[in-house]
Amino acid sequence: MDIFNVVCPACKKKYYADMLLYSLDVELHCPFCDVYFRKEKSPHVFVGGTAASAVVRIPGGLSKEMIYQPKRKK
């Protein structure tokens, strides 16, 4: 799986995500503090990885509409 590492702008913890998410226009979700944010808001993004992702086998590829994001409480 090709991955990138990202630092949450809220809690400053580092985690990784599939590189296919990096290419989509979606918000990232921090698994530590439950914050959603755009990758541009991260204080640091590390791009890297070596193997193919399991989702590349999806016919037509991955799209923004396939990514689940819960409705935010107002």
pTM of structure? 0.65
* Cα 35 from Cα 8, distance rounded (Å): 8
In a domain, 34, yes or no: yes
Residue 12: is its pLDDT beyond 80? Answer: yes
pLDDT tens for residues 13-65? 999 888 888 888 999 999 999 999 999 999 988 875 544 455 555 556 667 77
In a domain, 63, yes or no: no
In a domain, 64, yes or no: no
In a domain, 35, yes or no: yes
In a domain, 39, yes or no: yes
Query: Given this model, what pLDDT does residue 69 score?
Result: 78
> How does residue 72 score in pLDDT terms, banded at 50, 70 and 90?
confident
Domain that holds residue 18: 2-58
In a domain, 72, yes or no: no
For the chain, what is the domain count?
1
Instruction: Compute and round to an integer the Cα radius of gyration of the chain.
Output: 13
Is the CB of residue 39 less than 8 Å from the CB of residue 29?
no
